[in-house]
Structure 1
Amino acid sequence: MTFPLNWRVALLGLLLTTSAAYAADSRPTSSPAAPSAHVITERPGHAGIASANFHATEAGHEVLAKGGNAFDAAIAVAATLSVVEPESSGIGGGFMAVLHRASDGREVFIDARETAPAAVNAKDYLNKDGTPNRDTALNGPLSAGIPGEAAGLAWLSTHYGKLPLKESLAPAVRIARDGFKPDGRLVNAISERAEDIRRWPASAAKYLPDGKPPVVGEVWRDPDQARTLELLGEHGFDGFYRGEVGKKLVDAVRAAGGNWTAKDLESYQVKERTPIVVNYRGYRVVTAPPASSGGVAVAEILNILSGYDLTKLDTVHRTHLVIEAMRRAFRDHNDYLGDPDFVKMPMDMLLSPYYAAGLRQTILMDKATPSSMLPVSAGTDPGMHTTHFSIIDKDGNIASITQTVNYTMGSTFVAAGTGVLLNDEMDDFALVPNKPNVYGLLGSDANAPAPGKRMLSSMTPSIVFGADRVGVIGSPGGSTIITQVLEGILAFIDGKDAAGIAGQKRFHHQYMPDRVDVESGTFDAATTEGLTRMGHTLKERSSWGFMNVVTWDLKNNKLDAASDPRRESGLGKVQ
């Protein structure tokens, strides 16, 4: 039975209006009930790591060779990326991780997202006329949340690793101390942000020696960060959040007009949360719960698509249905989600297959639904400059980790004497309700800043379990993280290998603006014409994230690792 478009839009409005009352009455929860352990009896006997930089991948394998597991290797990869890829992530930022422990099948989500300082004040992000102040939201110490990555690395070591934290950090310390040859992407990022970097003396001294960016192919050293990583390795949490480093961080931030306190650092907490689990076509997808918005959106999209047999559809209609599912999931993602420790969210509804079935009834098979005809919502976006890495070790432990400092080079503010480049994650809050952030997207009260609150993220580290295959998938890319991971999951389920998943062409719809962003070469002329005829507006987009994928063929115990071909310095390696 089919219904006219206006009737379906009315139905969707009823569904979404009803959900508000549902949210008010339901028990607050950050994710569904804890999933049962997923124990895999096979063991690969070898390891695979895929990251955005070959130094980081090699560092992970180095730690594995010392007797470490996937979680020790993750520490090595993350810390090395902090040194060689600061434009995307670092110990001045945060991460989100989905882990699978082989010994007992335990699946857990590690939330090392940044938090707002206690003295956060929305007025600091307003101009005198009440308009958003993009400068304080994106540049300098006021734009920085309390970092979570260092605490997260210490947590991984203590609770899941086999080696002392100092050993897992050793490759990053060595590379920072002895130097490395920066790639063109890092040099270009420094050049792009040079004007802002020059505003902060410690930043200029680090990234613009002699007034210029480092030179591609010439050795560049980071002795201050090497010392900070050494102290983290020796003293764990206290080595970063207290003592010498903690004091330097607070002193530098406050001297430059920021509002951090020693208590902000000392009180930071890593959160363990229950992952979101969704079943789709016989595969079990384990993904990120809030304060990530990504897992909820991926689960909702897959639940919507589960009502169709996409394998029997032509490319135009299959793509159309995926776009329409994206549109509806992003509408909900924008309106309801935030930090689960602060916001009551209708998780049971959003993850329900019955709710998805209702949304499915609002989709026409031959016509796009204009977003303007759906109920109004507002959303946030975590930025384009993030990184992801995937790891499976010889025992079958799995780490899927996405980390970020938000915008390119974060806040551009380096805390003197630490080598730590701070994030600018405060812009991920809805600092000014219904006013766009740097990416032109809006925010709702669910994501308003508050002391100690985590800002909403689209980071979507995921693991996909099938009867014969396992996939570890994630990507950077701002709001496109969600759709890139979704398309990676669909490609994995369709049988693509790691290289095919990482390298496939991409498209994206996020409800508003009402358009389909398309990578050049994604669609042929016939598909483009068919989608346009249905009412979709296609716009070519050049900026996409760098996906890193590891797959495990359980039938022949073979691992396959691939780094996105869009990033020349990335490396997926099985060893």
Structure 2
Amino acid sequence: MKLALRWHVFLIGFLLGTSGAFAADKPQTSAPSTQLAQRPGHAGIASANTLATEAGLEVLAKGGNAFDAAVAVASTLSVVEPESSGIGGGFMATMYIAADKRSVFIDARETAPAAVNTKDYLNPDGTPNRDTALKGPLSAGIPGEPAGLAWLAKHYGKLPLTASLAPAIRTARDGFKPDNRLLGSINEEQKNLERWPASAGKFLPGGKAPAAGQVWSDPDQAHTLELLAKYGEPGFYSGETAQKLVSAVHEAGGNWTLKDLAAYRVKERAPLTVDYRGYKIITAPPPSSGGVAIAEILNILSGFDLSKLDQVHRVHLVIEAMRRAFRDHNDYLGDPDFVKMPLNMLLSPYYADGLRQTILPDKATPSSMLAPSNSEDPGQHTTHFSIIDADGNMVAMTCTVNYVLGSTFVAKGTGVLLNDEMDDFALVANKPNVYGLLGSKANAPEPGKRMLSSMSPSIVIGADRTAVIGSPGGSTIITQVLEGILAFIDGGDAHQVVAYKRFHHQYMPDRVMVEPGAFDAATSSALTQMGHTLKEREPWGFMNAVIWDRRTNKLDAASDPRREDGLGKVQ
């Protein structure tokens, strides 16, 4: 059986691998056939922090649209949730522009500096140096979020950037009370924050983390945001802020230059679309791996009627589809401006047909039968928010600084906490990153290249209902969004979708991560007998969704109940 299965997989790969690969920004997809003619007449926002959601609603009340609100939410999250995202990081957004009846993907992912050198991320014995990959300025890519926010305001918003950034500037200047997640993150990373004076100055005033209930302000970030509001993109990527960033990075041993900052560009890309059971899923293209993996999984599952299966066999098939999609994630995907990827193969229903034939109905496929590998548990960081405005504009945006508090390095005088996205490259081929994901030369670092991401902001359009959905969670983003999409298609409302009990398989390690309460004892026993290795772990993710029921023309917004201080609100 083992040899037969290996040969079957090889034969499928050989036959379909002869399909031509295609270059950047030319995915083999089409615009969604479902065009939304009506408008909801009211708005909904769901984000990871109450202050961020309220900032978005404030901007809508001033006459802004969903894209202005996205600027307000993202920038406020930079202030109040720096453990997950910020202007020192980047974002990816899947958007629907109601007036044009079209969707677009905004790629504000970070890029590698021109002086990137893989030797900086290796120990003398050639093993990965986890410290330089995750902490300090060498771990940081050139930020994309400030340019992305300015792009949204200029090309899609109705208000000036000064209006959309005003709530974040006010919150940073006047202060706020940090929630327990931020306080816990500061305590967790205190030793690393103490390594750099500006980091300690921002996060450890008086030498310790802010106390619960204490008002905490960030005047340096307020000033940086004011320059961005006044001058737009040049207010961050040139002039005073750029000089401070480069100076601070160099003083701490990093390699950024003013040319790196000046060269940064936002990319507009065609989103991927996939049809599944009468729904059109609009999702993220590379350099996100998430949309490709979700499309591949749904294509595999389209050959089964999951609604007629018991929970054991339904879960079994979903796990097996996840396993195969993550294997392809590791082998093929990278920045489309640098590598050619066989997306026409990976997104083909014929490829999915072949993969489906390798799934046994009552037995798990050991990942070693697909290819050997090694990995670790995925982490749980990043942030996501979802917006639908009164006109039917939609934004699914996932923002990140990568790991908790990013690089833990703050550039002096800016308040900008830098990301540690360089770890999302395959710094050492086929060695896992902090999320346990493997990579090949397709995701190797190069000057100006964007590192692969799992971010999967998505919009799901059905005959009667529409969902805007996404989540943080490292490599689990992909499976969380997948399971959220399936829960929505099964009829779940926003609160049910974000609360859905989760499970995750990412090819390696060959085990199923299970949230407590996801399976009853009988289901767990049956899956184990099939050959699945189950590992229970604490709840993960922070999904935020807005659902539009077009039959009643009502919006429903919900934030993940697993975490405190999120807010889904309709106005």
- C-alpha separation in 2, matches of 1:510 and 1:382: 9
Tell me, yes or no, if the aligned pair for 1:330 and 1:511 is still in contact at 8 Å.
Answer: yes
Tell me, yes or no, if the aligned pair for 2:32 and 2:280 is still in contact at 8 Å.
Answer: no
Residue of structure 2 equivalent to 1:330 = 326
Aligned pairs for 1:154-553 (under 5 A) are 154-376=150-372, 383-553=379-549
- C-alpha separation in 2, matches of 1:379 and 1:331: 12
Aligned pairs for 1:12-91 (under 5 A) are 12-22=9-19, 25-30=20-25, 31-36=27-32, 38-91=34-87
- C-alpha separation in 1, matches of 2:111 and 2:14: 31
- C-alpha separation in 2, matches of 1:26 and 1:391: 34
SS of the residue aligned with 2:385? strand
- C-alpha separation in 2, matches of 1:184 and 1:111: 31
Cα deviations by residue, 1:33-86 (Å, 9 ceiling, x for unpaired): 442564211111110000000000000000000000000000000000000000
Shifted more, 461-470 versus 39-48: the winner is: 39-48
Tell me, yes or no, if the aligned pair for 2:376 and 2:509 is still in contact at 8 Å.
Answer: no
Tell me, yes or no, if the aligned pair for 1:316 and 1:531 is still in contact at 8 Å.
Answer: yes
Q: Aligned letter for 2:21?
A: S
SS of the residue aligned with 2:413? coil
Cα deviations by residue, 1:461-497 (Å, 9 ceiling, x for unpaired): 0000001000011000010000000000000000000
TM-score (norm 1): 0.97
Shifted more, 124-133 versus 230-239: the winner is: 124-133
Tell me, yes or no, if the aligned pair for 1:5 and 1:362 is still in contact at 8 Å.
Answer: no
- C-alpha separation in 1, matches of 2:367 and 2:206: 51
Tell me, yes or no, if the aligned pair for 2:32 and 2:282 is still in contact at 8 Å.
Answer: no
Tell me, yes or no, if the aligned pair for 1:39 and 1:104 is still in contact at 8 Å.
Answer: no
TM-score (norm 2): 0.98
Cα distance, 1:32 vs structure 2: 1.8
Cα distance, 1:438 vs structure 2: 2.4
Q: Which ranges of structure 1 fall in alignment gaps of 5 or more residues?
A: none
Tell me, yes or no, if the aligned pair for 1:107 and 1:275 is still in contact at 8 Å.
Answer: yes
SS of the residue aligned with 1:437? coil
SS of the residue aligned with 2:386? strand
- C-alpha separation in 2, matches of 1:258 and 1:115: 15
SS of the residue aligned with 1:268? coil
Cα distance, 1:150 vs structure 2: 0.3
Cα deviations by residue, 1:515-563 (Å, 9 ceiling, x for unpaired): 0000001000110011011000000121511000100000010000000
Mark the CA change 1:261 to 1:380 in structure 2 (over 3 Å): closer, same or farther: farther
Tell me, yes or no, if the aligned pair for 1:383 and 1:406 is still in contact at 8 Å.
Answer: no
- C-alpha separation in 2, matches of 1:74 and 1:26: 34
Tell me, yes or no, if the aligned pair for 1:86 and 1:409 is still in contact at 8 Å.
Answer: yes
SS of the residue aligned with 1:181? coil
Cα distance, 1:18 vs structure 2: 4.2
Cα distance, 1:378 vs structure 2: 7.9
Tell me, yes or no, if the aligned pair for 1:381 and 1:479 is still in contact at 8 Å.
Answer: no
- C-alpha separation in 1, matches of 2:241 and 2:554: 43
- C-alpha separation in 1, matches of 2:227 and 2:377: 33
- C-alpha separation in 1, matches of 2:375 and 2:299: 21
Q: Aligned letter for 1:306?
A: S
Tell me, yes or no, if the aligned pair for 2:381 and 2:403 is still in contact at 8 Å.
Answer: yes
Corresponding residue to 1:133 among 129, 133, 139: 129
SS of the residue aligned with 2:313? helix
Aligned pairs for 1:78-117 (under 5 A) are 78-117=74-113
Shifted more, 355-364 versus 427-436: the winner is: 427-436
Q: Aligned letter for 1:54?
A: T
Shifted more, 469-478 versus 433-442: the winner is: 433-442
Tell me, yes or no, if the aligned pair for 2:45 and 2:568 is still in contact at 8 Å.
Answer: yes
Cα distance, 1:21 vs structure 2: 4.6
Cα distance, 1:28 vs structure 2: 2.5
Tell me, yes or no, if the aligned pair for 2:472 and 2:541 is still in contact at 8 Å.
Answer: yes
Q: Which ranges of structure 2 fall in alignment gaps of 5 or more residues?
A: none
SS of the residue aligned with 1:44? coil
Cα deviations by residue, 1:116-160 (Å, 9 ceiling, x for unpaired): 000000000111121111111010000000000000000000110
Tell me, yes or no, if the aligned pair for 1:69 and 1:161 is still in contact at 8 Å.
Answer: yes
Tell me, yes or no, if the aligned pair for 1:37 and 1:106 is still in contact at 8 Å.
Answer: no
Tell me, yes or no, if the aligned pair for 1:120 and 1:450 is still in contact at 8 Å.
Answer: yes
- C-alpha separation in 2, matches of 1:244 and 1:571: 35
Mark the CA change 1:266 to 1:37 in structure 2 (over 3 Å): closer, same or farther: farther
Cα distance, 1:411 vs structure 2: 0.3
